[in-house]
Amino acid sequence: MNRHARVLPVLLLAPLLLTACGSEKASEEVSEKAPATDAGELEARAQAMGVAPELVYVTEAPGFTLAQQSVGVLGDDGFSATWVDGDTNALLRLAVDRGTITADTCPEQPVGDMSGEHTTCERDGDSWYRTGAGRHEYALPEKGHVVRVSAEADAVPRDVLRAAALAAHRPDAAETDRLLPSADPAPASPVERGDLPRYGDGAPDNRVDVGG
């Protein structure tokens, strides 16, 4: 399954754009290309969170936006994040962790966090469509890890879930900046204490005022 967008080389794309829309339109189209992945920045930000850089993925779905506070570690060094539909409050959860999934092991792996529940598995291209405990999920085996996109079955239709799973990919530089917190957060400003005298050894001044 190829989840990466195919973009024509700039040298081939520019003449077509110039012919159809003029030079201004061509420059706009070229400038909208996503920046290349900054591997160093991704690695630094992921490691600062305790996440393995190779397990960081991002996805997208119409109407869904990233819930920034949901971004975090899954298991030992896996990655998870949630996208929210602003109209219905439906949730799409992206989870990436080490391991694999096969026809034999698929029924044994719970959908989401519902351990002990019966799971049904259906092959869909390179991925597995899985249902159980009121949730459904697309699980895509990669080299050494599995990318999963899941949601409540009655909140997100299967076609939306499948599209989000197909859209899952490694983040580029701009997506990394939006997805992961900075590896070097600004230090907190020191708190000024009013009870510390300006002389002596700096011990708190606990003298009682008149009437106190």
Please give the C-alpha separations between residue 194 and each of 191, 197, 206, in angstroms, as whole numbers.
10, 8, 11
Whole-prediction pTM: 0.70
Q: Is 110 exposed, middle or buried (0-12, 13-18, 19+ CB in 10 A)?
A: middle
User: From CA 157, how far away is CA 61, in angstroms rounded?
Assistant: 12
What are 95-134's pLDDT values in tens digits? Answer: 999 999 999 999 999 996 655 568 999 999 999 999 998 9
Residues of the chain predicted below pLDDT 50:
1-36
Please answer whether residues 152 and 135 qualify as being in contact, where contact means their C-beta atoms are separated by less than 8 angstroms. yes
Instruction: Work out the number of other CB atoms within 10 angstroms of the CB of residue 144.
Output: 11
Instruction: Work out the number of other CB atoms within 10 angstroms of the CB of residue 154.
Output: 10
Domains along the chain? Answer: 1-33 (no CATH), 39-179 (3.40.1000)
**Burial readout 42-76 (b: 16 or more C-beta within 10 A, e: otherwise):** bbbbbeeeebbbbbbbbbebeebebeeeebeebee
SS3 (DSSP) at 7: coil
pLDDT of residue 205: 57
pLDDT of residue 27: 34
SS3 (DSSP) at 96: strand
User: From CA 126, how far away is CA 57, in angstroms rounded?
Assistant: 17
